[in-house]
Chain A
Amino acid sequence: MNTTKTAGLLLGLAGFMLPLLITLPGLSFAGHIALGIFLMAAFFWMLEPIPIHGTSLLVIFLGVLLLSGQGPLYKDASAPLINPVSAEQGYTIPATALSASGTVWVKDSNQWSEIQVTLVEDQSGILTVEGDISPSAQIAVDVSHRSVNFVPRRFNDYIGTLANPIIILFLGGFMLAQGAVKYNFDKNLTRYLLKPFGTRPGAILVGLMMVTAVLSAFMSNTATTAMMMTVILPLIAQMGAADRFKTALALSIPIAANIGGIATPIGTPPNAIVIAALQKQDIAISFTEWMALTLPLVILVLAVAWFLLMKLFPPQITEIKSGADVSFNKSGKALTFYGIFLLTVLLWITESVHGISSSIVALLPIAGLALTEALEVKDIRQLPWEVLWLVAGGLALGLYMDHTGLATYLVSSISWASFGGFAVIAMFAVVAVVMSNFLSNTVTATLLMPLAVSIGILQNSGSLDIIELALVIGVGTSMAMVLPISTPPNAIAVSTGLVKTPDMAKIGVVIGFAGIMLMLAYALVYWPLLLN
């Protein structure tokens, strides 16, 4: 185990212990536990002493164990309560019921609230207090009890994240992607779509970027990049040793794959974090709406990238032959797959017309490809299940940060209203892009989203749109491509030896910057048109 991993492990464990050793006034005991898990998960996800999907499963496991109503900690726990005892003036309560900040906690129809009281009299441990306590409420005898200000959820809620509608949507996407690879659909489609772009280098670059973006909008960015590498390497072999356009081709693939992932809800996992977070606030974003919100941005950023690549790495070669033949697999199972693929995609992008949720449509490829055996058991075993677990862990973390009151607690210490809604959006856009250059995109979205949503709710005014805030985080993570470690597609491109890190960094910085500016311009001008 190397130094980073050891440090990650130690910091994570220290992070877990810290909230249990100190008391944060106003935060429930459960909130302290959630903070411990949050800190541990953050360190584990950032420094990766254990695989990142392992951290996600740990997050779910600890949530069930330490926070759910069926776990050992809260199984039989209920805060000792008393009915208010009226005195001549106010109510009498035991001394343990009064918090350090002069409040008592009361529970009324399963809802906790904190009530400010004034101390009237202290008679050797029996206090008389005055405050706005409803006669039907019960008062917590001991404010330090672990059940005060916390109503544990069922453990089903936490493990349920593994089958959250957004996870099912992604599973549908994974089934389609697996089928595309199995029947060579992605590669043949690429060759077919590239044909009209001819042989001129500039036009081929447009074609490659467009096809890559379209595929990565429906398949994983990484799988798309690996596939596109097999397409561009024979093209690169035609170029002279000194032709810098090689770098342009090799860089165009990860750029287009990263950016293309933004275009649909299933394009890349951070999109799932955005949609699930909004879903929790009862805001449903349909497949069609998502595309309407993001596609114009994707096209614009791709155009910027194309321009940059042509400028920085001008081609010497004048004609590039693509040559490879298109030969679509025409077996019965392949045809079944094509049918299910096209129908699913069609139903997804027309969600706003028929109104059937994209997660329900996702069951079509899941069930359809399994029952026709277009995907066999061995294919299904190969699906990237760990990505689903990664997202589910993130959703579980968001869930209990929310209902232990931790998320609100963390953001309420700063008065966000004084910044104005746009400044908050701009800040999160920058933080998301910068963070995700160093961390996994999904992890970045997972860590930022609960905080952002809480700020959005706290400042529920016209100036801050919670959808825009969530969008800039999700989209921003996909704009991060400065370093080889920023995303797996970048890593693949650099591994070929055709792209040098400084070249990648140069373009990555410009795209990141342009991406932030364009996102904010959209947040100001374009998104409000669609959202209001």
Chain B
Amino acid sequence: MNTNLFIMCIEDESEVLEAILRDLEMFEDYFRIEAAQSVDEAKEVLKVLINDGLKPALFICDHKMPGTTGVDYLVELSREEATSKAARMLLTGQAGQQDTIKAVNQAGLHYYLPKPWKPAELQRIVTELLTDFVSKNEDNLMAYMAVLDAEKLSEAMRNRNTYTDM
């Protein structure tokens, strides 16, 4: 892996978490994929990764979990400097209207995907979110062309003058 980005998946039910991880396998060579079964566990893992110099690119979060809820955690993430740029996605079947409104207005939610999901759909959305994140925040866009949306990344290279004749 020649990049230092990671995807964090937070989901309390282990079968569901495994399903998410299985669907995200195609990104494995380019992004480190981390899993946590509660917000507290996610926070600990996050601390270690950030200390190691890794950067979060995407949080995929369930809502109803023991302890802190997904929406509350996403609000927190959007306010912290180290995580505010990462894409935030809610993958849940149980968020009520109030929670959803909060996620959109306060957590700057990038995507709401209701359960159950189709693998291809999850992959398409993750590709889109990661492409946007990488286009805005990364310098070496070439590293992601094979896995993400190459056309959009080319467009970003062109607009940002990312590479030059040397």
Contacts and interface: CB of A to CB of B under 8 A. Distances in A.
Contact of B166 (A178, A226, A488, A495): A488
Contacts of A491: 142, 163
B154 A442 contact: no
A405 interface: no
29 contacts: A178-B161, A181-B161, A220-B164, A221-B165, A222-B164, A223-B158, A223-B164, A226-B157, A226-B158, A226-B163, A230-B154, A234-B151, A269-B165, A269-B166, A382-B161, A384-B161, A384-B164, A387-B164, A387-B166, A441-B165, A487-B165, A488-B164, A488-B166, A491-B142, A491-B163, A492-B142, A492-B157, A492-B163, A496-B150
A220 B151 CA distance: 19
Interface of A: 52-53, 178, 181, 220-223, 226-227, 229-230, 233-234, 261, 268-269, 382-384, 386-387, 390, 440-443, 487-488, 491-492, 495-497
A261 B166 CA distance: 12
A491 B145 CA distance: 11
B97 interface: no
Interface residues of B, number: 18
B155 interface: yes
Nearest to A181: B158
A190 to B, nearest CB: 12
A268 B165 contact: yes
Contacts of B164: 220, 222-223, 384, 386-387, 488
B105 interface: no
Nearest to B144: A495
Most buried by A among B150, B151, B155, B158: B158
Given A495-B143, A497-B145, A497-B146, A230 B155 contact: yes
Most buried by A among B157, B160, B164: B164
A229 B151 contact: yes
Interface of B: 142-143, 145-146, 150-151, 154-155, 157-166
B165 A222 contact: yes
A233 B150 contact: yes
B158 A387 contact: no
A181 B159 contact: yes
Nearest to B155: A230
Contacts of B151: 229-230, 233-234
A233 B166 CA distance: 25
Contacts of A261: 165
B163 A495 contact: no
Contacts of A229: 150-151, 154
A492 B165 contact: no
Contacts of A221: 165
B166 A441 contact: yes
Most buried by A among B142, B163, B164, B165: B165
A496 B145 contact: yes
A384 B157 CA distance: 13
A181 B160 CA distance: 10
A222 B163 contact: yes
Nearest to B146: A497
B111 to A, nearest CB: 24
Contacts of B160: 382
Most buried by B among A178, A223, A443, A491: A223
